[in-house]
Amino acid sequence: MSDVFLNIDEQPKDSVSMISERLEDRSFKGQFSDFTKEYFELLDYDEYSRILELGGGTGVIGRNFIEYTNFKGKYVVSDLSKELLNFGEKKAKELELDNHLEFKQIDAMSEIIHDQGSYDAIIMHTLVSHVPNPALVIENAKKLLKRNGKIIIFDADYETLLMASGNKELDEIVNTAIKKGCVAQPKVMRLIPKIANSLKLKLIKYKSNLLFEAGSAEFFYGMGKTLSTAVVKSNQLEKKIADKWVKEMEKAMSENTFFGMCPYITYIYEI
């Protein structure tokens, strides 16, 4: 099994647009978006500042950062996926945010790093849980920073993720398939302190947020539907099982019995 987020451009076309829409939707409002704002509030940058997001996808985090903090500097959205970057670039132009947003294809796992020492902050918002070598990505982030630059790592402990419709057997099958097919590193947030220590990064702040929905579901309904479809499309789960599970989720929501949880963690380091 392999993580669909590792090679988005090689996924079927309808999967790519589904993933783009999901990335947009999940950061638009609600608990997930609120967690993001909590770390935005800890960052103070001006018109001369340069921020780089590695694995920035469609740039929704960058757009939110610019709007929420009234950021006047440059926020560079980088990603491996040309498709997501194109989607994001178009959106930034439509919203007239292209003065402050730039889009660049960067492989966060590359051995060759351009623009070393160029940025005031590097943001990795749900990137490290997807890459085969998180330590290399964080080492690269360090190289890209100016003196006293900051590294922000926001991600989930996906090992703990649970979307429970109440059908125990199906919940087990689909949750497992989603973790295997969509998250290369479900326990990576447990390893970050060790990786950071080996890179001599200074811990400034950490926090945790539990994304929790009981009875009904909005975040987990979107997540469950998108990720179960993505694993079906990448041939890692049978369509009839995924469809049945989504129906079970809908039934649980209509009966007010759904249960879903996922812990998100933020680390902020300085070099």
Ligand X SMILES: C[S@@+](CC[C@H](N)C(=O)[O-])C[C@H]1O[C@@H](n2cnc3c(N)ncnc32)[C@H](O)[C@@H]1O
| In the complex, least distance from residue 60 CB atom to ligand X, rounded to whole angstroms | 5
Residue closer to ligand X (CB basis): 152 or 253: 152
Single residue of 18, 76, 122, 127 touching ligand X by CB under 6 A: 127
C-alpha–C-alpha distance, residues 43 and 38, integer Å: 10
| Contact range with ligand X by CB under 6 A, out of 5-13, 92-100, 160-168, 216-224 | 5-13
| In the complex, least distance from residue 133 CB atom to ligand X, rounded to whole angstroms | 9
Single residue of 55, 149, 181, 224 touching ligand X by CB under 6 A: 55
Residue closer to ligand X (CB basis): 104 or 244: 104
Question: Does 126 help bind ligand X (rule: CB under 6 A)?
Answer: yes
Question: Does 57 help bind ligand X (rule: CB under 6 A)?
Answer: yes
CA 162, distance to chain mean position in Å, is 17
3-state secondary structure the chain: CCCHHHCHHHCCHHHHHHHHHHHHHHCCCCHHHHHHHHHHCCCCCCCCCEEEECCCCCCHHHHHHHHHHCCCCEEEEEECCHHHHHHHHHHHHHCCCCCCEEEEECCCCCCCCCCCCCEEEEEEECCCCCCCCHHHHHHHHHHHEEEEEEEEEEEECHHHCEEECCCHHHHHHHHHHHHHHHCCCCCHHHCHHHHHHHCCCEEEEEEEEEEEEEECCCHHHHHHHHHHHHHHHCCCCCHHHHHHHHHHHHHHHHCCCEEEEEEEEEEEEEC
C-alpha–C-alpha distance, residues 72 and 160, integer Å: 38
| In the complex, least distance from residue 89 CB atom to ligand X, rounded to whole angstroms | 14
- Cα-based torsion angle of the residue sequence 99, 23, 183, 223 in order, rounded to the nearest 10 degrees: 160
| In the complex, least distance from residue 54 CB atom to ligand X, rounded to whole angstroms | 6
Single residue of 1, 6, 135, 271 touching ligand X by CB under 6 A: 6
Single residue of 108, 121, 153, 201 touching ligand X by CB under 6 A: 108
Question: Does 121 help bind ligand X (rule: CB under 6 A)?
Answer: no
Question: Does 156 help bind ligand X (rule: CB under 6 A)?
Answer: no
Question: Does 16 help bind ligand X (rule: CB under 6 A)?
Answer: no
C-alpha–C-alpha distance, residues 205 and 270, integer Å: 10
Question: Does 79 help bind ligand X (rule: CB under 6 A)?
Answer: yes
| In the complex, least distance from residue 203 CB atom to ligand X, rounded to whole angstroms | 22
Single residue of 122, 131, 156, 178 touching ligand X by CB under 6 A: 131
| In the complex, least distance from residue 26 CB atom to ligand X, rounded to whole angstroms | 7
Single residue of 50, 63, 74, 130 touching ligand X by CB under 6 A: 130
| Contact range with ligand X by CB under 6 A, out of 87-95, 105-113, 225-233, 236-244 | 105-113
Can you give the binding site for ligand X, defined by CB under 6 A? 5-6, 8, 23, 27, 54-57, 60-61, 79-81, 84, 107-109, 125-127, 130-131
